[in-house]
Copies of this chain bind each other. A is one copy, B any other.
């Protein structure tokens, strides 16, 4: 704001158009003389000229902004995703506006609209809740929306998530291989694709050892620590015969750990635990959890690419709108064999 293009032009003794072109590297395209270009550039940095991104955005109808909306920026998973997106965006000259929806749809909607008014060119959102109408609406209105992590079944939007079913199957297999047959599930938000796919995977793994899933062994209503704690507490009380728990998120698992401690069950001796997704310093925990961890970097990277591509790219190819990133099994020592 310190100085405008016009001032630069005046100082260099040229018109604003020449100044603009010189500074934007359109010099040769407009056959502007070398000398002039130099003169303009000199004037520009004498004045400490910083082109107004705002004015440019208005003129070009391109803000160079990407909106990222996550449920909780303090959660390592979302912080990491945001970071990756920020780095990827930056590499393409974009900036990222982050917004924290505090796990509430109401906020999510408000923030989305706010950012829409700021004319972000694309959204990456890790949605809360199990409704996607508002997201589809925004996308339909012209700002591409890519969903990351928490996606929805049958939703036309671009989506990046993990191989939940396969991952969950592997997780449960870790348990069944050690003889566990009575496994409690601490689920996340029902109705979301990650949750429901993990449920499928779990059922598949159980089927392999000839048992069918008992829905009374599934508890929980969100990916939060509170949900994990409450449901583990309940499950452990109602079904003391459970030998293992499968937590659908790190916070769920942490809640379970606390509930287990309170119930006097030590992990892994009296209770095995496996979780979906990892957390920093997991190996330094009292109970290093065996887990099926998501490739957060890759998810963020891919989401950023899709978002940026949707902006610059031509037609939206509906082919493969969902990307399932590979998960990785990490065996630590939260699982013990069932004693017969």
Q: Give complex CA distance A50, B98 in Å.
A: 20
Q: Give complex CA distance A87, B74 in Å.
A: 12
Q: A74-B80, A82-B73, A286-B285 are in contact. Are A53 and B141 (CB under 8 A)?
A: no
Q: A54-B57, A58-B54, A141-B2 are in contact. Are A76 and B280 (CB under 8 A)?
A: yes
Cβ proximity bits A105-139 to B, threshold 8 Å, 1 near / 0 not:
00000010111111100000000000000000000
Is there contact, CB below 8 Å, between A100 and B117?
no
Chain A interface secondary structure, helix, strand, loop or mixed?
mixed
Interface residues of A in 37-78 (CB under 8 A from B): 48, 50-55, 57-58, 61, 63, 65, 72-74, 76
Which of A1, A51, A54, A142 is the most central at the interface, judged by chain B CB atoms within 10 Å of its CB? A54
Q: A79-B74, A111-B90 are in contact. Are A119 and B52 (CB under 8 A)?
A: yes
Chain A contact patch, size range: 35 or more
Interface residues of A (CB under 8 A from B): 1-2, 48, 50-55, 57-58, 61, 63, 65, 72-74, 76, 79-80, 82-83, 86-87, 90, 95-100, 102, 111, 113-119, 141-142, 254, 257-258, 279-281, 284-288
